[in-house]
Chains A and B, each alone.
Chain A
């Protein structure tokens, strides 16, 4: 056990003042100290992607960062995807295309896709499948996830 540090995390535009040991992962801190449990832990060694959040707009694995590293950065989690009651195009597409079953991997896929699409809405199918192969899903067999992200990408492109 080492001394806790007082840090401030900015998650979905809100500030959270917490005190954590340096070894406390960003994922655990988001979930426990900050109470945002939408981000999930599937493996804690950076393979499954269930813990994916956006850090200054880029998808990263929150289980591979320590909370103390994230001070001063903008963190976005699944709780921040919707705008009030209006679901994000990705969330609507996941529902419409049955891209989730148990829902445990869903937040990770949503944030991965959101980060990639916001940066590169013109992303081609092959590249998209490559990106989506970053995360594991055990329920769906992936095709509906790919379809949902493609549908959301098309909608997001059209909106621009």
Chain B
């Protein structure tokens, strides 16, 4: 369709984001500053649960360099932080105020804010704030009997989320075998290398409240802030610059964001807040902690008749912007790639006195994949079947597609679009050389090594709609600007968008400037999350670029006096496709010809630009398969991952190098969650994982290279480019695959029932089984 252009879809071109970042010219929240700005420091609860008796900021206010100090009373009129999707009345009592009002509910809960000339003085002053709290017992187990959340007697069980279909109890009654397991995923989270930051600024000259350091969902947050501060949307703008990783935890509206905005409005001075690492580990969203009691009913041949899962979702102290998203997702996606004729999921939404939890890369899917795949292994083990054979017997087949289930994920009915799950499994097994691997591992085990392999299969979800829009314009120099409502967290969003735009328009991708995260530049945006950016924003960008292309060719046809069908755009130049030489016109010249004052405009709208929209009724459901090979030191219990393969149906890769990067990074995080990372609390609710010496993220020593099999056999039918997302594919199956491999290495079926599988837990398993 288009002529040669550099950076077409499918090419692994270098990123346009990189040059400033390798030169130290990035602009992260910490790098942003305004004249006369104040630095904010939060005073946080030292107790997991308690009644606030007194917060006395008098001494703090008197300290040098301190401008002000706030407690809840100072911002009593600011409402608690609401849910991203809108009002949900039953959850409203569980929302968090920017500063705690009557009670503190987790160690780290903000109780006061100090504003000073610099960060050092602010921290000094924060220490001088007297916080008197009457300590109350801490509820730390999401699976224990619920307690009282507040004085009105509300339960710490905020809800019970149910999804399911069919006649589950009948299925169990008639089943040949019933297999039950209790499985736990430990509390861990994204922990990006850049902590959070927010700079609030009130531009009095224009009456605009600005929030800098925005990420992920700037337009949503803008709406929320406008509501909270009773301002018109045009009087609130958010600005995203460089973002040091998001992983789901950055970009939600947090108390500190609200505080810098309130302070900027009240003080008339910019207010800067940069989180430190100690704070981050107790204040930024946690995730993952669930305890599942899951049962399967199967027939004589191991075919699933029913799954019944009751689980406890440890939400932490408050319900934050995501409301029940993760628990609902878990219910909806748990069946995964298998046919489950009858299904019941009962999710207990439990508040505890820990850091609030929300989404972290592959939310609900890392957890449910671990649980479901452990269950499948358990069924195979109990029936004496090969673990892979059992999966083959139960997998949804390509002939079943599209495969609809009466379940809901992210507000969408579940319908797997296309794909051959067993086919991908076979390819993955072939790629790793499964047979030879098995023999080799057996030989090594015979000579005393504890080595083994495990497999996990899963269905992902991506491309959350319903709509996204983008605007493409070409200026008179021929440079292209693509304005999106998307967001960049470091994943290469700009490059992927530039490639899509370049491919459609016929320019070099390096000539495309991609704008994102700026609410001043575009009215609507759903940001970047849920692996949606490439699908939704990419499709919108494609639409817009095609419209611009059409307009350019229309004008060119006139200027060159040639039939429109004979023209092509190569590297920003329009010429006849049948002659390399001959008359031509550049996109820049066409843009000039479309100036409002030019006769060449004709009846057209001025400017070489267009807005494109993409609407999607449905998410797409990419799928994958992970294979892990581990080696265990029986003496210390340490688990080393020797090999790891990720097979993934990407639909269509805009930039394979970027996709691999996402998967490799996701794998590293999954490995962290499987073996190393956990937020641990003592019996009083005091967090123990508060530094990088206790919260252990894997280094280059612990993370092996992965083998990657990217399949583009099943392009998504749900968008014109066939794209499925890949942001979460690397992490989803890791807990399950490594657990399965550990079982195999220890030759103890069902050994791993809890993540992370720490050396101490491995030793306990070995001791248990004699």
Task: Check A18 for interface membership: any CB of B closer than 8 A.
Answer: no
Among A54-62, A67-75, A115-123, A141-149, which stretch is in contact with chain B?
A: A141-149
Check if A100 sits within 8 Å of B664, measured CB to CB.
Answer: no
A36 to B355, CA, bound (A): 34
Residue of B nearest to A85 (CB): B23
Among B253-261, B287-295, B665-673, which stretch is in contact with chain A?
A: B665-673
For residues 101 through 140 of chain A, which have their beta carbon under 8 Å from a beta carbon of chain B? 101-107, 110, 129-130, 132-140
Check if B22 sits within 8 Å of A132, measured CB to CB.
Answer: no
For residues 24 through 73 of chain A, which have their beta carbon under 8 Å from a beta carbon of chain B? 24, 28, 31, 36-45, 47-48, 50
Task: Check B437 for interface membership: any CB of A closer than 8 A.
Answer: no
A144 to B14, CA, bound (A): 13
A43 to B697, CA, bound (A): 13
Task: Check B513 for interface membership: any CB of A closer than 8 A.
Answer: no
Among B45-53, B152-160, B393-401, B489-497, which stretch is in contact with chain A?
A: B489-497
Q: What residues on A are CB-neighbors of B730 within 8 Å?
A: 141
Q: What residues on A are CB-neighbors of B490 within 8 Å?
A: 101-104, 139
Tell me which of B24, B665, B697 contacts A78 (CB under 8 A): B24
Task: Check B192 for interface membership: any CB of A closer than 8 A.
Answer: yes
Check if B17 sits within 8 Å of A37, measured CB to CB.
Answer: no
> Given known contacts A47-B691, A102-B245, is B23 in contact with A137 (CB within 8 Å)?
no
Q: What residues on A are CB-neighbors of B702 within 8 Å?
A: 133
Check if A41 sits within 8 Å of B23, measured CB to CB.
Answer: no
Check if B22 sits within 8 Å of A94, measured CB to CB.
Answer: yes
| B117 CB, min distance to chain A CBs, angstroms | 10
Interface string of B680-719 (1 = CB under 8 A from A): 0000000000011100010111110110000000000000
| A145 CB, min distance to chain B CBs, angstroms | 7
A106 to B25, CA, bound (A): 11
A32 to B657, CA, bound (A): 36
Q: What residues on A are CB-neighbors of B15 within 8 Å?
A: 95, 98
> Given known contacts A38-B23, A48-B692, is B701 in contact with A141 (CB within 8 Å)?
no
Q: What residues on B are CB-neighbors of A36 within 8 Å?
A: 24
A135 to B700, CA, bound (A): 8
Most chain-B CB neighbours within 10 Å: which of A36, A129, A133, A143?
A143
For residues 176 through 216 of chain B, which have their beta carbon under 8 Å from a beta carbon of chain A? 190-195
For residues 480 through 494 of chain B, which have their beta carbon under 8 Å from a beta carbon of chain A? 489-492
Check if B22 sits within 8 Å of A138, measured CB to CB.
Answer: no
Task: Check B339 for interface membership: any CB of A closer than 8 A.
Answer: no
Residue of A nearest to B244 (CB): A104
Among B26-34, B460-468, B618-626, B742-750, which stretch is in contact with chain A?
A: B26-34
Q: What residues on B are CB-neighbors of A45 within 8 Å?
A: 277, 691-693
> Given known contacts A91-B23, A110-B22, A142-B700, is B658 in contact with A98 (CB within 8 Å)?
yes
Task: Check B243 for interface membership: any CB of A closer than 8 A.
Answer: yes
Task: Check B10 for interface membership: any CB of A closer than 8 A.
Answer: no
| A141 CB, min distance to chain B CBs, angstroms | 4
Q: What residues on A are CB-neighbors of B657 within 8 Å?
A: 98
Task: Check A17 for interface membership: any CB of B closer than 8 A.
Answer: no
Most chain-B CB neighbours within 10 Å: which of A21, A48, A104, A129?
A104
For residues 374 through 400 of chain B, which have their beta carbon under 8 Å from a beta carbon of chain A? none
Tell me which of A21, A37, A48, A78 contacts B120 (CB under 8 A): A21
Question: Interface majority SS on A: helix, strand, loop or mixed?
Answer: loop
Q: What residues on B are CB-neighbors of A87 within 8 Å?
A: 22-23
A1 to B119, CA, bound (A): 12
Check if A102 sits within 8 Å of B489, measured CB to CB.
Answer: yes
Check if A138 sits within 8 Å of B699, measured CB to CB.
Answer: no
Size class of the contact patch on chain B: 35 or more
> Given known contacts A48-B692, A100-B21, A103-B21, is B28 in contact with A138 (CB within 8 Å)?
no
Task: Check B19 for interface membership: any CB of A closer than 8 A.
Answer: yes
Task: Check B242 for interface membership: any CB of A closer than 8 A.
Answer: yes
| A72 CB, min distance to chain B CBs, angstroms | 24
Check if A103 sits within 8 Å of B120, measured CB to CB.
Answer: no
Check if B124 sits within 8 Å of A1, measured CB to CB.
Answer: yes
Q: What residues on A are CB-neighbors of B120 within 8 Å?
A: 1, 21, 23-24
| A129 CB, min distance to chain B CBs, angstroms | 6
A98 to B124, CA, bound (A): 41
> Given known contacts A42-B193, A136-B193, A138-B669, is B21 in contact with A47 (CB within 8 Å)?
no
Q: What residues on B are CB-neighbors of A44 within 8 Å?
A: 276-277
Q: What residues on A are CB-neighbors of B25 within 8 Å?
A: 38, 79
| B37 CB, min distance to chain A CBs, angstroms | 12
A100 to B18, CA, bound (A): 8
Residue of A nearest to B492 (CB): A101
Check if A40 sits within 8 Å of B194, measured CB to CB.
Answer: yes
Check if A94 sits within 8 Å of B193, measured CB to CB.
Answer: no
Q: What residues on B are CB-neighbors of A37 within 8 Å?
A: 24, 26-28, 30-31
Task: Check B640 for interface membership: any CB of A closer than 8 A.
Answer: no
Q: What residues on A are CB-neighbors of B243 within 8 Å?
A: 102
Tell me which of A48, A129, A138 contacts B665 (CB under 8 A): A138
Tell me which of B21, B31, B693 contacts A106 (CB under 8 A): B21
Task: Check A6 for interface membership: any CB of B closer than 8 A.
Answer: no
| B748 CB, min distance to chain A CBs, angstroms | 29
Residue of B nearest to A38 (CB): B24
Check if B24 sits within 8 Å of A143, measured CB to CB.
Answer: no
Check if B705 sits within 8 Å of A143, measured CB to CB.
Answer: yes
Check if A102 sits within 8 Å of B22, measured CB to CB.
Answer: no
Most chain-B CB neighbours within 10 Å: which of A1, A110, A129, A132?
A1
Residue of A nearest to B664 (CB): A141
Task: Check B64 for interface membership: any CB of A closer than 8 A.
Answer: yes
Task: Check B65 for interface membership: any CB of A closer than 8 A.
Answer: yes
Task: Check B595 for interface membership: any CB of A closer than 8 A.
Answer: no
Task: Check B601 for interface membership: any CB of A closer than 8 A.
Answer: no
Check if B24 sits within 8 Å of A102, measured CB to CB.
Answer: no
Task: Check B121 for interface membership: any CB of A closer than 8 A.
Answer: yes
Q: What residues on A are CB-neighbors of B22 within 8 Å?
A: 78, 87, 91, 94-95, 100, 103, 106, 110
Q: What residues on B are CB-neighbors of A95 within 8 Å?
A: 14-15, 18-19, 22
Check if A130 sits within 8 Å of B701, measured CB to CB.
Answer: yes
Check if B245 sits within 8 Å of A141, measured CB to CB.
Answer: no
A105 to B121, CA, bound (A): 27
| B586 CB, min distance to chain A CBs, angstroms | 27
Task: Check B146 for interface membership: any CB of A closer than 8 A.
Answer: no
Check if B242 sits within 8 Å of A103, measured CB to CB.
Answer: yes
Check if A140 sits within 8 Å of B65, measured CB to CB.
Answer: no
Task: Check B661 for interface membership: any CB of A closer than 8 A.
Answer: yes
Q: What residues on B are CB-neighbors of A91 within 8 Å?
A: 22-23
Q: What residues on B are CB-neighbors of A77 within 8 Å?
A: 24
| B296 CB, min distance to chain A CBs, angstroms | 34
| B138 CB, min distance to chain A CBs, angstroms | 27
Interface string of B578-612 (1 = CB under 8 A from A): 00000000000000000000000000000000000
Check if A103 sits within 8 Å of B23, measured CB to CB.
Answer: no
Check if A140 sits within 8 Å of B661, measured CB to CB.
Answer: yes
> Given known contacts A1-B121, A141-B664, is B65 in contact with A101 (CB within 8 Å)?
no
A1 to B664, CA, bound (A): 46
For residues 1 through 26 of chain A, which have their beta carbon under 8 Å from a beta carbon of chain B? 1, 21, 23-24
| B751 CB, min distance to chain A CBs, angstroms | 26
A132 to B27, CA, bound (A): 25
Check if A136 sits within 8 Å of B65, measured CB to CB.
Answer: no
Q: What residues on A are CB-neighbors of B195 within 8 Å?
A: 42
Other A-B pairs beyond A40-B30, A47-B692, A132-B700, 18, CB < 8 Å: A39-B24, A44-B276, A81-B23, A95-B19, A95-B22, A100-B18, A101-B665, A102-B244, A102-B245, A103-B22, A103-B490, A104-B193, A104-B194, A104-B245, A135-B699, A141-B661, A141-B730, A143-B706
Closest 4 CB pairs of A and B: A38-B24, A102-B490, A104-B244, A103-B21
Cβ contacts A to B, 17 pairs, < 8 Å: A42-B194, A42-B277, A47-B693, A77-B24, A79-B24, A91-B23, A98-B660, A100-B21, A102-B242, A102-B490, A103-B22, A103-B244, A133-B699, A137-B193, A138-B192, A139-B193, A139-B245
